[in-house]
């Protein structure tokens, strides 16, 4: 696509910059890359004195729609609670010359039906300007919210249309090329970079605690974290219940209210609290204008969920762009005090290349077509229904829209997900990504600090049951091992000693569960069960004995050599009695049988003689070495 640069000077609005370039309005068949949030693209389109035309603006979420239409009867907000009847009434209102409708993607169908019922399809597609705001959300959200792309086929039918965002992503939909779309890229003529503290660390909880202490005197802290459970944990462990507000989806609001939360909402409610938590629903589009200058804290915890990853090229920019200048701070450069992003990283993340994704899609498509073609071979409705059900379960179906057409935004979502994931596999890649955005001056990069582990400090002190404490220690031990893989010089033992002192019950410390981890491993502990103490003890004692048997292989073998030479023919009972005595003397609590000697030497066997005997052929070089004939021994 052709790229047309649109210079913008400091203090100018987008309206002025476009007019200077010869565009009185946002032109049709364009992807308007604003570069900076808050330049007034949506304001320009909903203002009937600037954009003298009917407009449909598709916004990603409800909060932005309610915010932009509040106390403005000339605008119509279309979302779940807006009916077709209300839309028709608005369309017929002669006092409103230019209709300005803001809708969610899910609400768009109601808009189309209501307007075409009143004015007809021709007028609808020829007179309305369709603007898709924050267009990168089409790509970012389509994997869990397929409905966000529902209006896209209709979008291309409009005579006048545009995509807009400060943080557009590359899109592969062929209609952009077919309709000769152009990219209008706003180019600021001034330095617009924001200072950002980037903390990349494997001591995530520790860094959060340090940051909270550092910001204890802040009037307002806005925390962007895309996981409600993680927000809940932070609020409880830091005891912020009386000083916090949470802004999240309606579904999460219900979930938190069931836990006793009161200050939780699916829309922005002012005034803000000292601590304010926002999920991804509020990362873009909404305007936050408050009297005090907040400190912005962005959190990513890969141990909790990959969807807490923040894309430096889109979400990080959109987050700081939510804050608007207040008259109280007129003339100051930023409407906030600071921006900090705290994140951990995972070098073991598996990143797919674009070619690998394309190959996967092709393979899925072949399976889909194979099953789809088989429908015509079915003779009954039941058989056809079964095939259709199975088709719906295929992963390729996730790449199709509601009409069964290939959804290019779902494809772009796969590309985008791997791109962002790649940044979090290596601190250098994340740092480079932030620098490449040209939006940030990176002030602090702490990824080569002395490696340690958090022990999930935010959680340990709040656990009450013995099961929870054992489980938490095991999870932290796993993280210690993971840390050791990253940094071979990392010393695990001091941290294990701390866990050993943890009180599990009045009669149990962390010693027991740590020994279980060392000898059994996490999977075996989980198989037995964290509450099955007696069974865990039995398994632990057995594992310890087996390990001791292995460790004392050579000393025990040396004692056997003193008794039996090569070609000696002891009875099987004699070998059993000898090894029983050696195990007793060395504290190896394992049942000895007539075949135990085969752990130490290769033998030939005779059961015909009375009593049965072994012939000692040779001694093994290491524990676990196989015997002849698959470990059974030869027959004399």
pLDDT at site 630: 39
635: confidence class by pLDDT, cuts 50, 70, 90: very low
Backbone angles phi, psi at 366, to 5 degrees: -60, -45
150, 256: one domain: no
Q: Tell me the mean pLDDT in the region 398-426.
A: 94
Reply yes or no on whether the pLDDT at 353 is more than 60. Answer: yes
447 — pLDDT class (breaks 50, 70, 90): low
Residue 451 has pLDDT above 70, yes or no: no
Helices 493-500 and 510-520 meet at what angle, rounded to 10?
A: 130
Backbone φ, ψ for residue 148 (5° rounding): -65, -25
State the Cα–Cα distance between residues 411 and 556, nearest whole angstrom: 63
pLDDT digits (tens, 9 = 90+) for 556-571: 999 999 999 999 999 9
Instruction: Look at residue 445 and give its three-state secondary structure.
Output: strand
Q: What tokens does 258 get?
A: 């069931």
pLDDT surpasses 60 at 118: yes
Where does the pLDDT of residue 441 fall: very low under 50, low under 70, confident under 90, or very high at 90 and above? Answer: very high
Average pLDDT across the chain, whole number: 91
Can you give the pLDDT at residue 381? 81
Q: DSSP characters for 493-536? A: HHHHHHHHT-EEETTEEHHHHHHHHHHH-HHHHHHH-TT-HHHH
Q: Is 614 exposed, middle or buried (0-12, 13-18, 19+ CB in 10 A)?
A: buried
Report the percentage of the chain scoring pLDDT > 90. 74
> What is the C-alpha to C-alpha distance for residues 631 and 382, in angstroms, rounded to an integer?
56
286 pLDDT tier (thresholds 50, 70, 90): confident
Nearest 10 degrees: Cα torsion 9, 443, 297, 338: -50
Residues β-bridged to residue 221: 275, 295
- Overall average pLDDT of the 64-92 stretch: 96
Tell if the pTM clears 0.75, that is, is over it: no
- Domain-embedded: residue 429: no
Regarding whether 624 and 570 lie in a shared domain, the answer is yes
Same domain, 110 and 175: yes
Asked, for residue 252, whether it belongs to a domain, the answer is yes
Sign of the four-CA dihedral 104, 110, 116, 119? negative
Q: Does 56 have pLDDT greater than 70?
A: yes
| CB contact at 8 A, 310 and 434 | no
Say what the pLDDT of residue 424 is: 96
Residue 339 within any structural domain of the chain = yes
The reply to whether 427 falls in a domain is no
What is residue 326's predicted lDDT score, i.e. its pLDDT? 64
User: Strand 508-509 relative to strand 503-505: parallel, antiparallel, unpaired?
Assistant: antiparallel
Element (H, E) at 187: strand 182-188
Q: What average pLDDT does the segment 214-220 reach?
A: 96
pLDDT at 488: 80
Query: Which is nearest to 343 in space by CA: 238, 281, 425, 404?
Result: 425
Structurally, how many domains does the chain consist of? 5
Residues 178 and 228 in one domain: no
3-state secondary structure 265-286: ECCCCCCCCCEEEECHHHCCCC
Look up the domain containing 317 and give its range: 194-343
Contact 40, 186 (CB under 8 A): no
Q: Domain for residue 235, yes or no?
A: yes
Distance CA 297, CA 313 (A): 17
pLDDT over 90 (residue 613): yes
Cα separation, 419 vs 311, in Å, equals: 9
Both 117 and 234 in a single domain?
no
pLDDT digits (tens, 9 = 90+) for 416-425: 999 999 999 9
Distance of CA 69 to the CA centre of its chain: 32
For residue 35, how many other CB atoms are within 10 A of its CB?
A: 20
Asked whether residue 349 is domain-assigned, the answer is no
User: In the block, which residue shows the tokens 């700081």?
Assistant: 320
pLDDT over 70, % of the chain: 95
- The verdict on 183 and 225 lying in the same domain is no
Q: Do 52 and 182 fall into the same domain? A: yes
Residues 363, 312 share a domain? no
pLDDT score, position 423: 97
CA distance 118 to 124: 9
Residues 175 and 276 grouped into a single domain: no
Q: Do 286 and 381 have their domain in common?
A: no
- How many Å apart are CA 559 and CA 579, to the nearest integer? 9
Last residue of a domain, one of 142, 165, 188: 188
CATH code: domain of residue 295: 3.40.50
Q: What angle do CA 117, 122, 125 make, to 5 degrees?
A: 95
Which of the residue ranges 371-380, 416-425, 493-502 would you say has the lowest mean pLDDT?
A: 371-380
Question: How far is the C-alpha of 80 from the C-alpha of 107, rounded, in Å?
Answer: 7
Compute how many other C-beta atoms are within 10 angstroms of the C-beta atom of residue 373: 10
Cβ count near 379 (within 10 Å) = 7
Instruction: Please say which residue of 292, 318, 343 terminates a domain.
Output: 343
Report, as an integer, the average pLDDT of 103-110.
96
Residues 524 and 529: their CA atoms lie apart, in Å, by 8
**421 domain-assigned:** no
> How high is the pLDDT of residue 460?
60
Q: Is 258 in a helix, a strand, or coil?
A: helix
* Predicted pLDDT of residue 304: 83
Residues 358 and 328 in one domain: no
Whether residues 604 and 531 share a domain: the answer is no
The pLDDT assigned to 277 comes to 98
Q: Spell out where 125-193 has E strands.
A: 128-133, 160-165, 182-188
pLDDT at 627: 58
- Of the chain, the end-to-end C-alpha distance in Å amounts to 84
- Starting at the edge strand found earlier in the chain, the sheet holding 601-606 runs 613-619, 601-606, 634-635
In which element (H, E) is residue 399 found? none
What pLDDT is recorded for position 332?
55
Rounded-to-integer distance, Cα 376 and Cα 383, Å: 10
pLDDT, tens digit, for every residue of 289-337?
888 999 999 999 998 888 899 999 999 999 999 998 765 544 457 899 9
Question: Do you know the residue count of the chain?
Answer: 636
Task: Report yes or no: 265 and 300 within 8 Å, Cβ to Cβ.
Answer: no
Q: In the 3-class helix/strand/coil scheme, how is 314-348 assigned residue by residue?
A: CHHHHHHCCECCCHHHCCCCCCCCEEEEEECCCCC
Quick check: is 182 in a domain?
yes
**Whole-angstrom distance, CA of residue 634 vs CA of residue 636:** 6
Q: How far apart are CA 263 and CA 283, in angstroms?
A: 19
Given a cut of 90, whether residue 379 has pLDDT beyond it is no
Q: Average pLDDT for residues 501-524, to the nearest whole number?
A: 93
**pLDDT level of residue 37 (50, 70, 90 thresholds):** very high
* CA distances in angstroms from 179 to 29, 136, 158, 511, listed in the order given: 7, 19, 11, 69
Average pLDDT over residues 54-78: 95
What pLDDT is attached to residue 636? Answer: 45
Q: Which of 95-99, 272-276, 362-366, 455-459 has the lowest mean pLDDT?
A: 455-459
Report residue 142 CA to chain centroid gap: 15
Question: Does residue 634 have a pLDDT over 50?
Answer: no
Dump pLDDT digits (tens) for 231-254: 998 998 888 999 999 999 999 999
Cis peptide before 482 (omega within 30 of 0): no
- Asked if residue 14 lies in contact with residue 40, where contact means CB atoms within 8 angstroms, the answer is yes
Q: Which residue has the higher pLDDT, 532 or 373?
A: 532
Query: 611 preceded by cis ω (within 30°)?
Result: yes
Q: Which residue has the higher pLDDT, 605 or 490?
A: 605
Residue 59 or residue 210, greater confidence: 59
From 544, 571, 588, give the residue that closes a domain: 544
The β-bridge partners of 429 are none
């Amino acid at each position: 696509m052709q790229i047309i640069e649109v210079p913008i000077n400091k203090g100018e609005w987008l309206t002025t910059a476009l007019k200077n370039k010869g565009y009185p309005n946002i032109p049709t068949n364009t992807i308007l890359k604003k570069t900076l949030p808050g330049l007034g693209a949506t304001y320009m389109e909903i203002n009937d004195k600037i954009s003298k035309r009917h407009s449909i603006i598709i916004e990603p979420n409800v909060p932005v729609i309610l915010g932009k239409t509040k106390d403005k009867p000339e605008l119509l907000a279309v979302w779940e609670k807006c009916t077709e009847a209300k839309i028709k009434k608005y369309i017929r209102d002669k006092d409103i010359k230019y209709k300005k409708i803001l809708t969610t993607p899910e609400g768009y169908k109601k808009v189309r039906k209501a307007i075409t019922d009143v004015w007809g399809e021709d007028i609808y597609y020829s007179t309305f300007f369709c603007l898709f705001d924050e267009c990168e959300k089409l790509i970012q959200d389509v994997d869990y919210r397929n409905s966000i792309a529902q209006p896209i086929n209709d979008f291309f039918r409009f005579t006048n249309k545009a995509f807009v965002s400060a943080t557009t992503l590359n899109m592969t939909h062929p209609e952009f090329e077919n309709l000769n779309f152009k990219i209008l890229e706003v180019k600021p003529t001034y330095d617009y970079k924001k200072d950002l503290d980037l903390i990349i660390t494997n001591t995530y909880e520790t860094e959060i605690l340090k940051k909270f202490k550092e910001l204890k005197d802040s009037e307002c802290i806005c925390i962007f974290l895309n996981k409600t459970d993680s927000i809940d944990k932070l609020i409880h462990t830091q005891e912020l219940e009386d000083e916090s507000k949470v802004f999240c989806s309606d579904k999460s609001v219900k979930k938190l209210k069931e836990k006793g939360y009161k200050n939780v909402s699916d829309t922005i409610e002012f005034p803000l609290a000292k601590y304010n938590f926002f999920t991804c629903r509020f990362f873009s589009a909404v305007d936050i204008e408050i009297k005090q200058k907040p400190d912005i804290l962005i959190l990513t915890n890969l141990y909790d969920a990959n969807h807490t990853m923040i894309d430096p090229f889109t979400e990080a920019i959109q987050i700081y762009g939510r804050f608007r200048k207040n008259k109280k701070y007129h003339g100051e450069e930023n409407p906030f005090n600071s921006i900090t992003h705290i994140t951990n990283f995972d070098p073991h993340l598996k990143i797919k290349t674009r070619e690998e994704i394309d190959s996967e899609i092709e393979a899925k498509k072949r399976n889909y077509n194979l099953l789809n073609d088989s429908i015509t071979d079915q003779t009954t409705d039941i058989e056809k229904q079964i095939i259709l059900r199975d088709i719906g379960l295929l992963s390729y179906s996730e790449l199709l829209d509601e009409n069964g057409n290939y959804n290019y935004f779902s494809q772009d979502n796969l590309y985008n997900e791997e791109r962002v994931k790649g940044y979090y596999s290596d601190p250098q890649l994340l740092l480079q990504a932030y620098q490449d955005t040209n939006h940030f001056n990176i002030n602090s990069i702490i990824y080569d600090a002395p490696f340690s582990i958090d022990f999930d400090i935010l959680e340990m002190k709040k656990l009450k049951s013995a099961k929870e404490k054992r489980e938490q220690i095991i999870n932290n031990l796993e993280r210690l091992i993971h840390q050791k893989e990253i940094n071979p010089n990392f010393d695990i033992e001091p941290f294990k000693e701390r866990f050993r002192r943890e009180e599990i019950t009045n009669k149990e410390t962390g010693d027991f569960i740590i020994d279980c981890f060392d000898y059994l491993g996490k999977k075996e502990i989980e198989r037995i069960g964290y509450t099955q103490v007696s069974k865990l003890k039995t398994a632990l004692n057995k594992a310890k004995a087996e390990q001791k048997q292995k460790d004392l292989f050579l000393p025990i073998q040396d004692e056997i050599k003193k008794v039996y030479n090569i070609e000696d023919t002891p009875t099987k009972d004699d070998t059993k009695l000898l090894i029983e005595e050696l195990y007793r003397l060395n504290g190896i609590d394992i049942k000895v049988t007539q075949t135990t000697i085969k752990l130490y030497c290769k033998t030939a066997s005779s059961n015909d003689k009375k009593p049965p005997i072994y012939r000692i052929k040779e001694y093994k070089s290491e524990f676990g070495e196989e015997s002849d004939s698959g470990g059974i021994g030869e027959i004399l």
